[in-house]
Amino acid sequence: MTLHHHNDGKEKFEQQADNSRSDILPFIEKTKKITPDTKVFEMGCGEGGVLVPFIERGCHCLGADLDASRIAWAHKLFEKEIAAGKVEFLYKNIYDEDFLVKYKNSFDIIILKDVIEHIPEQEKFIPYLKKFLRAGGLIFFGFPPWYMPFGGHQQVAHHKIAMMPYYHILPRPVYKQVLKMFGESDVMVEGLLEIYDTRISIERFEKIVRDSGMRVLYKQHYLLNPIYRYKFGWKPRKQWKPVTYIPFFRNFITTCVYYSVG
């Protein structure tokens, strides 16, 4: 069955805000000083929870998402902050020409938290993000490597048996049939197959960064994803350093990676 975390929007918002405050903002500060002059853009912001600690620091923030209902909720949650000019939320595709014209070279920090694994054509998308950075800016990426136990996001499935680890790495037709056999709806199957098609590994991500003319400024691989403290009550645990240097294998036992790229 779907985890309670995925059904309770308010709880998820509060968890995202705390995760950002405890883990994401401190990670970014390893390579980028955050001041009230810092301009922050979150791509795939949902209700805006990740932006909370940046707003608390006085940063001007922008969030964009392709889910109109989540943007509408963000407008309600941040009514006072929006009125004060501290944050904006847009239901918008960043590939739209008017978005590029308005926000080119505008941001010191761009955040993609659990987003890049959902984006098609990452080889095109990641270099495109550079257009929105100011000089000296960086992009934060946090994502689950595809080969990790739940890299297919099958934890959102409705049936308990469909939440098993690792079977998402089966060949696509087999994976589809197994999901149907487990009784998942056509909508759920389609959603999980979309993630299958946009999956990304540590190696491919780092190659795209290099090919884009950018470099990794700082990175952290986790054996236990920081977000698991809310889902399962597990304390975050960094990956054992030697494992982070073993190509391919590291993907299977690393549940989350954080990167600052510039």
**pLDDT tens for each residue of 210-258:** 999 999 999 999 999 999 999 889 999 999 999 999 999 999 999 999 9
pLDDT in tens, 32-85: 999 999 999 999 999 999 999 999 999 999 999 999 999 999 999 999 999 999
**Is the model's pLDDT at 4 over the cut of 50?**
no
**Is the model's pLDDT at 124 over the cut of 50?**
yes
The confidence score (pLDDT) of residue 231 equals 85
In this prediction, residue 1 has a pLDDT band, given cuts at 50, 70 and 90, of very low
Q: C-alpha angle with apex 170: 155 to 148, nearest 5 degrees?
A: 50
pLDDT in tens, 10-31: 888 999 999 999 999 999 999 9
The confidence score (pLDDT) of residue 6 equals 47
CA separation for the pair 175, 157 (Å, rounded) = 13
How much is the average pLDDT of 104-129? 98
Distances from the Cα of 255 to the Cα of 36, 139, 146, 181, 226, angstroms:
33, 20, 9, 26, 9
In this prediction, residue 2 has a pLDDT band, given cuts at 50, 70 and 90, of very low
How much is the average pLDDT of 116-120? 97
CA separation for the pair 257, 240 (Å, rounded) = 13
The confidence score (pLDDT) of residue 162 equals 82
Q: What is the mean pLDDT of the chain?
A: 95
Cβ-Cβ contacts under 8 Å for 180 (sequence gap 6 or more): 189
CA separation for the pair 175, 167 (Å, rounded) = 7
**Is the model's pLDDT at 8 over the cut of 60?**
no
Amino acid at 176: K
Domain parsing of the chain, residue ranges: 4-146+200-261, 154-197
pLDDT in tens, 136-173: 999 999 999 999 999 999 989 998 888 899 999 999 99
The confidence score (pLDDT) of residue 163 equals 86
**Which of 54, 12, 10 lies closest to 33, judged by CA?**
54
CATH of region 4-146+200-261, choose from 3.40.50.720, 2.40.50.140, 2.60.120.200, 3.40.50.150 = 3.40.50.150
Asked if 175 contacts 196 with a C-beta cutoff of 8 angstroms, the reply is: yes
**Is the model's pLDDT at 134 over the cut of 90?**
yes
